[in-house]
A and B are shown apart, each in its own frame.
Chain A
Amino acid sequence: MKPVPFAQIVAEHGATVWAVCRSILSETDADDAWQETMIAAMRHLPDPAEGTNLAAWLTVIARNKSIDIHRRRVRQATPVADITAVADRVSIRTGSHPDPESTATGSGTIDGDLRAALARLTERRRTAVLAHHVAGYSYAEIGELLGSSEDAARRSAADGIAELRRQLRRRS
């Protein structure tokens, strides 16, 4: 396999890597996790071995870096503040305005409606949905992030998806 210039890898997969990081971290922490992911990837070049799916390879690194940062944050927080801190971090991109009205900046678009619907989910369901369906974290990992069991994380994700579908259908 000919070596791929890293600039092309960043251009092609940079957004995916950020989404993986952002699914469980704040924007600022996601930026840090993105940088650490790319540095780690550069350190591994020119391997990955032949035939490696670059997107999958980067996603694994991004998940591990994000979990590291998440753990660091949880360790730094007091147990009581922890739940709130996690909740703050999992709000979606425009989630600095938890009010669904101001969250739906793309009103009239699928994107805007989905944002509004996501903002209405409980933090626990939102984290489970984004971390599993966007970033591919396992339910065991999500359970650890949420401080719950693997089964509870799986239920949160399923309930979150069902609620999103319900909300989006109602709006049609």
Chain B
Amino acid sequence: MTVPTEPADPHERKNPMITDPPTTDLDDALTAALDPGSERIARLTTSLAPRADDEGLLDLTYRRVDGPHGPLLVAATETGIVRVAFAEGGVDQVLEELAEAIGPRILESSLRTDAAARQLTEYFEGTRRSFDLPIDLRLARGFRARVVAHLLEIGYGRTETYGQVATAIGNPGAVRAVGTACAKNPIPVILPCHRVVRSDGTIGNYLGGTEMKRALLAMEAA
């Protein structure tokens, strides 16, 4: 950066000049001159969701919730919460799966997701023992839907074995399928698959990792 020795006018004296002005990539520089800035885009995006919703164009909204075991993604349809995902590795892959399964009109917004975010935070802080939220179970059909719906009946601080869940939904032979259904629970934490454990007393697998399952159960037992 140099100061011109012979400023062409008084204005320029205050402006140290660059040494290498754009000539070939002027188009890029012109585009940069019209850059809205990330804050404006964020503001515009925030007001886009309610408007899209008014016009019936919003398949899903989502937001991130920071929990003690890493970030979660919470997504909601018009019906209710449809997906909770562990988002340690970013949200892109989850959003792409949702776009394919439900629809591509997805926006980040507190619309529809606000209550879930608040209740999840309260749950992780230990001040909430049950969730009061509309749920959309469309990502778990048939047998899997029956399994995850039953999870709501396993109260805070309690556990059931995979076998007990299989019996409870009237299919006592389907222990392994119950395990699969829990592993594919689209709404973990809110539908508490972490409360389903092995009959030998070990805690079994968990979408968010065994450590997280152990931590959640320990928190609820406290």
Contact = CB atoms under 8 A, between A and B. Distances in A.
A129 interface: yes
B218 interface: no
Contacts of A109: 18
B132 interface: no
A130 B34 contact: yes
A142 interface: no
A10 B48 contact: yes
A115 to B, nearest CB: 6
B142 interface: no
Interface stretch (B23-31, B151-159, B187-195): B23-31
A35 B51 contact: yes
Interface in B11-47: 11-12, 14-23, 26-27, 29-36, 40-41, 44-45, 47
B8 interface: yes
Interface string B131-146: 0000000000000000
Interface centre among A19, A39, A110, A169 (most CB of B within 10 A): A110
A134 B34 contact: yes
Interface string B200-217: 000000000000000000
Given A115-B33, A130-B30, A172 B92 contact: no
B166 interface: no
Contact of A92 (B1, B33, B98): B33
Contacts, number: 150
Contacts of A3: 99-100, 103-104
Interface stretch (A41-49, A75-83, A148-156): A41-49
Nearest to A164: B26
Given A15-B36, A15-B41, A101-B11, A39 B62 contact: no
B18 A110 contact: yes
Interface string A1-23: 01111111010001110110011
Contacts of B103: 3, 45-46
A2 B15 contact: no
Contacts of B12: 171
A108 B18 contact: yes
Given A8-B95, A110-B22, A114-B29, A46 B34 contact: no
